[in-house]
Structure 1
Amino acid sequence: MMNWHFWLPVMVLFTSLGAAALIFWLDEENSRARSSINLGAAALKILLVALILVGVSQGEIYETRFELLTGIDFVLRADALGVMFAGLSSLLWLFTTLYAIGYLEGTPNRRRFFGFFSLCVASTLGIAFAGNLFTFLIFYELLTLSTYPLVVHKGTNKALRAGRIYLIYTLGGGVVLLAGVLWMHSLAGDLSFAATGQLDALVTSHASDLKWIFLLLMAGLAVKTAMVPFHGWLPQAMVAPAPVSALLHAVAVVKAGAFGMVRVVYDLYGITLSWQLGLLLPLGIAAAITIIYGSLRALQQDDIKKRLAFSTVSQVSYIALGISLFGPAATLGGLVHLLHQGLMKVTLFFCAGNYAETLGIHKIQQLDGAGQRMPGTSIAFTLGALGMIGIPPMAGFISKWYLGTGALHAGMYWVLPVLILSSLLNTAYFLPVVYRIWFKPQRGDWPHERVLGRWDTSLWLLIPPLVTAALSLLAGLLAASPFSPLAWVELIIQREYLP
């Protein structure tokens, strides 16, 4: 029967799809209507996701299912994990939309930008609510196609080259993922995402097949997760406008890959079977290599956005590291970092965009004295940087604490030096930037200063990073509260992943 529980996941997706259709239909110059549609759709999406969140917390089931091909269902299902990712996507879409409206004011091709921007968010929500591998694959590839126009938005030779690299990596990863999905379907049929040990019966006769399928699935997902050696597209994509960078790093592309890894390990194979097949240790080693490599490369970057890009390469692999450790504490650390990193990284990219748009600053060495000229932006950047380092009581500290505790519980003591070295490297590439902003005097004129408002920049550009920085601080300060990201992840683990 098609009722409220059937239609609500569809309605969440259509808030973005409908917005995209209306935006493409509007004239280029009708900016007021376009902004109203964007903000109205973002607000409605948050409301719908909140309704689902309340229902899921009370045990309600929201599922859209129909047969698309013979033996293959199209499934949207709002479980606790999907709602967590959908909530992050919806919240950050609102702030990124606010930011993008101010950032792109007066620039050409805004209709195209915001249209594909909405399609990108619809694809991300489809990934969040995908109830099986086939549905996940559909939205995973739609995400690639909808983000490409955003990466090449500026239309320069550099942007077009970055777009080509992005497509080569992501479409190649999609082909590998498709191979894994088809192999799995031939072996086990149409499997739903459910932590029920659904592959256990195949271990005796198809253990080798399951290992190779896991490798294909993880390799395909590792491209969007930007794990070494599949990370090359991400620094190149920094040629995109700041709102796109924020979206790519905080919620859409790299998080889609990491979220897919969580689905495969916990909801397809199951954590116990993954451990018995010896699949988790290689994943953990690959994550550890990426964490250290990304931090070392970040140290070498003078361009602000590229330093943040390599920071993302490192930080997102904390999620993969958490799910590779056999135990609830590490799982808690990895999953909550999916939320925490999103809040911190979107803040940092907002701030990088503010420095570029207001003062013409793109290089770290140009930031001397920026704290006095742009105190609001600089406070937000500082909070985001301290969170990435993992200084208490910021959200990043909570993630690293549970990852370290989980490593001890799992007996994987080699993870602790990785976390310590990573934090030291985080300190080495973030604290000098903060020092320049607050404690070094300005050297000469700013590269290209613009007066964008009464405050340190336009309120459209200033409010989003201040709010997201505050949320990342509150996520750490109020971690023990019943409404924190940590509390929701604890609910996910207790309800779905513990026997």
Structure 2
Amino acid sequence: MTTTTWLPVLVLASSLVPAVAIFLLPEDRHRTRTTLNLAGALAKVGLVVALIPPVLAGRRFEWRVPFLPEVDLVLRVEPFGLLFLGLSAFLWLLTTVYAIGYLRTDGRHRSRFFGFFSLCVVASSGIALSGNLVTFVVFYELLTLATYPLVAHQQTAAALRGARVYLTYTLGGGVALLLGAVWLTALAGPVEFARGGSPAVAALAAEQPGAARAALALLLVGLAVKAALVPLHGWLPRAMVAPAPVSALLHAVAVVKAGVFGVVLVVDELAGVEVAADLGLLGPLLVVACATILWGSVRALRQDGLKARLAYSTVAQVAYVTLGVALLSPVATVGGVVHVVHQGLMKITLFFCAGLLAQTLGATRVSELAGAGRRMPLTCAAFTVGALGMIGLPPVAGFVSKWYLGLGAVDTGQPWVLVVLVVSSLLNAAYFLPVVGRMWWGRPGSTSRSGTRARWEAPPALLVPALVTAGCSLLAAVAAGVPLAPLSMAWLIVQGG
């Protein structure tokens, strides 16, 4: 049952109103800015929590308004979008707390930073709520424009260079996405996302398979940029010049998640998996996903910069979502969908901790982390949880994702994919375990800044978000079968709930 309501608009307004107000604030209005940030983040979490029971009961909330000739702007609350929206709302709240603490000593351009920070969440929420292709494209491009100033925030030569690279890649991807959307709309008419695929796209694929294949391929190429699929991933490591809260936002909440969320929408809810398979789109997508998983892991091995190592890890880890939807198996799709949440929890933990180590110890390189666990045991414990999850070891969330992806590979009779998963886990271990070992058992030397003095953890505003996300990474695996757990939600989504 679909209900017309303003609720989706209220979800966007919970971020948009604070964004506008924060832009207008003088730099010295720290308390007012903090209040607006936290009020908006808490309001969004409250709205998402209120939406969960009726959506799980089968209700769908929708708001639409005429936008282009014969095309509406459609916001709709459905299970998959709600999963992404819930992740965005929860992690935005924690990242807001972290960012307030992180930027407390930097009085420059904080109103600009938090204004664009909130606009970024408006765009992410709009992507999650998009009911048709045109609405998705609008918010997808808004995300590009809102995140560019965040990457360039520090205004150094490196930051501006990284921001230009980011903008070049994402605008190029945006052009491909727009061309695909215009072409598909011209051929099939306005297309809305639907469980199992749009009937209009299915009809087009039956009548003009070549045109349908080309239009959908353009959409996937455009999405592959933000999803950081090889060879369109080059912007992600270079964007690591941004402050730690922005890096966390890019990797766990917004940009790369928007890319893989869009890939899932195009395959499952625009084309439909059967149509996508018949058009020959899933085979190349599977190969690209596997290549990205291995290439990102190999490149991560060679990075001494901690954020650079985490960036290449993101390239590899986010590709698991694409792998799940490309395998043409419900079990694998569950693994891919749940990894949207699991990777977000684990990766934001790692970036939070990287920021803490840089702020407190001045350590930004792996070679500088020897003995850090003696100084910052809680921070290093949270990092260890995230790292073990990325490897895929129980009892952390990454194990659950990889288990279902492996089952899907066996289910579809493609054991070579299982080999890719095993090799990627070994590579993950090769670039994460030395970091963990150096933190806990390394002896500080001439290249280490961690020292051997008494414990010195970061302030609570910085430390608590990292501990919460690390705890959630454990809880998502230990309580995976509990109702409302990410895995239970993924099964509901894949089964068409």
Offset at residue 110 of structure 1 (A): 0.7
Q: Pick from 334, 341, 344 the counterpart of residue 343 of structure 2.
A: 341
Name the residue aligned to 1:238: 240
Q: How many residues align?
A: 492
Name the residue aligned to 2:329: 327
Letter of the 1:10 partner, please give it.
V
Name the residue aligned to 1:257: 259
Task: For residues 43-71 of structure 1, give each alpha carbon's deviation from its aligned partner in whole angstroms, at most 9, with x where no partner exists.
Answer: 11001011112210111111011111111
Offset at residue 5 of structure 1 (A): 4.7
Structure 2 residue 170 is the aligned partner of structure 1 residue 177? no
- The alignment's TM-score, normalised by the length of structure 1, stands at 0.96
Structure 2 residue 457 is the aligned partner of structure 1 residue 456? yes
Name the residue aligned to 1:144: 144
Task: For residues 154-181 of structure 1, give each alpha carbon's deviation from its aligned partner in whole angstroms, at most 9, with x where no partner exists.
Answer: 0001100111101100001000100000
Q: Equivalents in 1 of 2:388, 2:415: separation in Å?
A: 25
Offset at residue 106 of structure 1 (A): 2.1
Offset at residue 75 of structure 1 (A): 0.2
Among all aligned residue pairs of Structure 1 and Structure 2, give the percentage whose two residues are the same amino acid: 55
* Higher alpha-carbon deviation: 227-236 or 202-211: 202-211
SS at match of 1:392: coil
Name the residue aligned to 1:442: 444
Q: Equivalents in 1 of 2:322, 2:102: separation in Å?
A: 33
Letter of the 1:486 partner, please give it.
L
- Give the aligned CA root-mean-square deviation in angstroms: 1.6
Name the residue aligned to 1:188: 188
Letter of the 2:147 partner, please give it.
T
SS at match of 2:72: strand
Name the residue aligned to 1:397: 399
For the structure 1 residues 320 and 4, does the alpha-carbon distance in structure 2 shift closer, same or farther, using more than 3 Å as the test? closer
Q: Show the 5 A alignment for 1:282-431.
A: 282-431=284-433
Structure 2 residue 166 is the aligned partner of structure 1 residue 166? yes
Q: Equivalents in 2 of 1:200, 1:37: separation in Å?
A: 45
Whether the 8 Å contact between 2:3 and 2:62 is mirrored in structure 1 is: no
Name the residue aligned to 1:57: 56
Q: Show the 5 A alignment for 1:28-43.
A: 28-43=27-42
Name the residue aligned to 1:129: 129
Offset at residue 205 of structure 1 (A): 2.1
SS at match of 2:5: helix
For the structure 1 residues 4 and 103, does the alpha-carbon distance in structure 2 shift closer, same or farther, using more than 3 Å as the test? farther
Name the residue aligned to 2:279: 277
Task: For residues 217-246 of structure 1, give each alpha carbon's deviation from its aligned partner in whole angstroms, at most 9, with x where no partner exists.
Answer: 110000000111101100000000000000
Letter of the 2:77 partner, please give it.
A
Name the residue aligned to 2:116: 116
* Higher alpha-carbon deviation: 474-483 or 425-434: 474-483
Name the residue aligned to 1:491: 492
SS at match of 1:495: coil
Whether the 8 Å contact between 2:196 and 2:268 is mirrored in structure 1 is: no
Offset at residue 201 of structure 1 (A): 2.1
Whether the 8 Å contact between 1:120 and 1:147 is mirrored in structure 2 is: yes
Offset at residue 4 of structure 1 (A): 8.1
Name the residue aligned to 2:228: 226
Q: Equivalents in 1 of 2:206, 2:127: separation in Å?
A: 31
Offset at residue 273 of structure 1 (A): 1.1
Offset at residue 200 of structure 1 (A): 2.4
Q: Equivalents in 1 of 2:490, 2:240: separation in Å?
A: 31
Letter of the 1:66 partner, please give it.
V
Offset at residue 196 of structure 1 (A): 4.4
Q: Equivalents in 2 of 1:308, 1:484: separation in Å?
A: 26
Q: Equivalents in 1 of 2:206, 2:373: separation in Å?
A: 62
Q: Equivalents in 1 of 2:446, 2:278: separation in Å?
A: 62
Q: Equivalents in 2 of 1:180, 1:4: separation in Å?
A: 30
Q: Equivalents in 2 of 1:445, 1:71: separation in Å?
A: 63
Q: Equivalents in 1 of 2:10, 2:450: separation in Å?
A: 44
Q: Equivalents in 2 of 1:13, 1:184: separation in Å?
A: 27
Whether the 8 Å contact between 1:258 and 1:316 is mirrored in structure 2 is: yes
Offset at residue 447 of structure 1 (A): 3.9
For the structure 1 residues 411 and 126, does the alpha-carbon distance in structure 2 shift closer, same or farther, using more than 3 Å as the test? same
Offset at residue 109 of structure 1 (A): 0.9
Q: Equivalents in 1 of 2:128, 2:177: separation in Å?
A: 17
Name the residue aligned to 1:469: 470
SS at match of 1:414: helix
Whether the 8 Å contact between 1:333 and 1:401 is mirrored in structure 2 is: yes
Q: Which runs of 5 or more structure 1 residues have no equivalent in the other structure?
A: none
Offset at residue 445 of structure 1 (A): 8.9
Q: Equivalents in 1 of 2:288, 2:276: separation in Å?
A: 16
Task: For residues 184-206 of structure 1, give each alpha carbon's deviation from its aligned partner in whole angstroms, at most 9, with x where no partner exists.
Answer: 00111111100244122223321
SS at match of 1:289: helix
Q: Equivalents in 2 of 1:5, 1:55: separation in Å?
A: 14
Q: Equivalents in 1 of 2:446, 2:31: separation in Å?
A: 38
Letter of the 1:8 partner, please give it.
L
Offset at residue 455 of structure 1 (A): 5.2
Whether the 8 Å contact between 1:479 and 1:485 is mirrored in structure 2 is: yes
Name the residue aligned to 1:12: 11
Name the residue aligned to 2:154: 154
Q: Equivalents in 1 of 2:423, 2:480: separation in Å?
A: 25
Q: Equivalents in 2 of 1:447, 1:394: separation in Å?
A: 29
SS at match of 2:495: helix
Q: Which runs of 5 or more structure 2 residues have no equivalent in the other structure?
A: none
